[in-house]
Amino acid sequence: MLSYQRELSGYDIRKWLHYGVRYYYGSPAFSQIYADLKKLEKMGFLTSRVDDAGPRNRRLYKITPTGLDAVTRWARDTPADPPTLKHPAIMRVTLGHLSDPVALKQMLEEHIVYVDEMQRDAAKGARWAAADPSWTYARIALDWAERYYASERELTLKMIKDLDEADASFPKMGEGIPLPGPEYWEEFEKRVAAESGK
């Protein structure tokens, strides 16, 4: 956020993250933002000053030439790490043998409500970003986020249908079915490795 070379408070940065970056990179807590700002200032990437012009004093941060050079090199030259996916809804489906399809479907329907809200908000952010040419790249990222959440909705609807099929084929709790143990996973791992040629 500071790469736009404006002075911002930690609160300003948090707001900007909420309106854009949270759709594809997460949104840190205020405590994390302030800890990172202090760390970056100690490294010489930022400067700060106290602004007492308003009703309350606030600390404003600005990127230094060294900081701008570092973030520019990171954006241009550093290979992007593979994205990490941490999806609590899918983890609950993975543990579906401890639940039931009705509860899982309800949880996924609640997830769709969340996804729909994120898609609408990302679309709104993209429209606002489109109003200013200096936000072109932010708009492109927000357009991607809107499409991502539309895709997430379709994948979740498909998973709800998959749960119906699973309910028809999975033995019911209490029927004495053995759950897969380590030997199953070892065999599974061997088969996957053989199929992958590893």
Domain assignments of the chain as residue spans, ordered by start: 2-77, 88-174
pLDDT < 50: residue spans in the chain: none
Contact predicate 60/49, CB 8 Å = yes
Parallel, antiparallel, or unpaired for β 46-51 and 58-63?
antiparallel
pLDDT at 50: 93
Report domain 2-77's class: mainly alpha
Give which of 101, 195, 111, 115 is closest to 151, Cα–Cα: 115
Tens of pLDDT, residue by residue over 129-172, are 999 998 899 999 999 999 999 999 999 999 999 998 887 777 66
Structure letter (DSSP) for residue 81: P
